[in-house]
Structure 1
Amino acid sequence: MAALARFDFTVVFAYRGQERPIDLFSNFEPSDYEIFVSRYQAGAYLLDPFFHAARQPISGVFRMRELAPDRFFSSEYFRTYYSETRLAEEIGFFVPAENGITVVLSLMRKHSTHVFPAREFALLKDAEPFAAALVKRFWSDLDPRFDAAHAERRRKASPIDAQRGVWQRLGLTTREAAIVELVLQGHSSEAVGERLGIATGTVKVHRRNVYRKLGIASQTQLLSLYLKTIQAAA
């Protein structure tokens, strides 16, 4: 990969449904590992565009901005968590594996390195079949690793369990929970309405009701409540 394009970090995650991702490889220093892996696995992944794309699943090479919701780069999730990564851009190789598992090999460039130029991105896209073949060869039969992690979660709540539980404990309806989760991912009210088949005005009414129920006044407070609850359970 380094012969084709310049990048600063790489990480490989495996995804299976809504389960906590498994980190297969990375080249982070300890301080960066805390942000990119530890905090990500603790619950931040639930709002990650790559996580949601891997669940579809998709295959191929994509820039983050191709998969992100329409307001992702102005969302509280981006400002509060993703901006701490100090990335200018992230590119992901999405490789569907067996039994609904998708492996994502991410190449990352810091702000000081700037985004991937079109020429390098084109080279990476050409290399996608080779990268996919390597991923499948070296990271096959991942079900046992997910099953072992699932067994561990039986005695301790997983982030996805906390995600479901936080809204229930706070008294939100199923519709309200669906709306605020999409908002936190970075979808605008208009995009939320399109996805759920309701009017934009209805989405805004639900958002106001949620804020009133929770005693908060901003998306910043909503995200803080969301992440603290999930991370406490992880």
Structure 2
Amino acid sequence: MEDEALGNTFRRLMLSLMSFDYVVVFAYRGKERPLDLFSTFNAKEHVLFVSLYQAGPYLLDPFYHAACAPKPGVWRMRELAPDRFFSSEYYRTYYVQTGLAEEVGFFVPVSGQVTVVLSLMRREATGSFSAAEFALLKKVEPLVAALVRHHWADLDRRFDAALAKTGRNRRKATHPPADGVWRHLNLTERETSIIELVLQGHSSESIGLKLGISTGTVKVHRRNVYRKLGISSQTQLLSLYINSLGH
């Protein structure tokens, strides 16, 4: 079954249960560019939700990090988001443009490295998924997972093909790949770890807990990074990140 046919089968199944505005299906493998398997966006929406997202912002997405963990099952965005996600510059600058009230995802690992995420999205006018609707999604999760594992089992091959193509074209690129932005900006490994968590929406306290260092040490590293990069705010940090990706 081809991507479009399987995506539409999933969409029709979900519509038989509840209403929503969009469906998008991505496959993730490490820091590689996600594969766009299916979506219901128009051309303008596709640029924001898919093309721009694939260029680098996916590295800051809670769904991406849950896919890499992996965390199988059905999850609401707010269950996976860091403690400061909804006040982060990534949320204010990028995610808020989507106009979504809520996003819910089916997370299905299909190999040792690849996880497929099937997202249902509701715009603000539609409102969030109710507790009863979310419970229903959990009940159908085994069926969705079986469908995905049966028809999208060979995605490693497609990732390998995309990676080979990227390698051939890399010397023509005018900007670094998404996973090389921080090296391009000459940050140390520790600085990179901290600044990635900052942009994902973690507070200094949350970063300290994740990395096993004190909150004070986190703040010192953040100040050093800002000084090294010649910036003074998270707004400038995100702008520098996006510009380094060539956008």
Equivalents in 2 of 1:35, 1:51: separation in Å?
16
Alignment check: 8 A CA contact 1:5 1:124 kept: no
User: Amino acid of the residue matched to residue 228 of structure 2?
Assistant: K
1:186 is aligned to 201
Gaps of 5+ in 2: 1-13
Equivalents in 1 of 2:48, 2:223: separation in Å?
32
- Taking only the aligned residue pairs, the percentage that are identical comes to 65
1:11 is aligned to 24
Task: Say which SS state the counterpart of residue 112 (structure 2) adopts.
Answer: helix
- Which of 15, 21, 42 is the matching residue for 1:2? 15
- Which of 187, 212, 218 is the matching residue for 2:233? 218
Task: Say which SS state the counterpart of residue 23 (structure 2) adopts.
Answer: strand
**Displacement after TM superposition at 1:40 (Å):** 0.6
TM-score, L = length of structure 1: 0.94
What is the RMSD computed on CA atoms of the aligned residues? 1.6
Alignment check: 8 A CA contact 2:191 2:225 kept: yes
- Which of 84, 107, 114 is the matching residue for 1:71? 84
1:60 matched to 2:91:
no
What are the equivalent positions in structure 2 for 1:73-88 lying under 5 Å apart?
A: 73-88=86-101
**Displacement after TM superposition at 1:212 (Å):** 1.1
Task: Identify which range, 134-143 or 215-224, moves more after superposition.
Answer: 134-143
2:188 is aligned to 173
What are the equivalent positions in structure 2 for 1:1-234 lying under 5 Å apart?
A: 1-157=14-170, 162-231=177-246
Structure 1 stretches of 4+ with a deviation exceeding 6 A read none
Gaps of 5+ in 1: none
**Displacement after TM superposition at 1:69 (Å):** 0.6
**Displacement after TM superposition at 1:169 (Å):** 3.5
2:11 is aligned to none
User: Amino acid of the residue matched to residue 217 of structure 1?
Assistant: S
For 1:141-181, what per-residue CA distance to the aligned partner results, in whole angstroms no more than 9, with x for missing partners?
112211110011103449xx634543334332221111111
User: Amino acid of the residue matched to residue 149 of structure 2?
Assistant: K
Equivalenced residue count is: 231
Alignment check: 8 A CA contact 2:55 2:178 kept: no
Equivalents in 1 of 2:50, 2:186: separation in Å?
31
Select the structure with the greater relative contact order (CA < 8 A; seq sep ≥ 6).
1
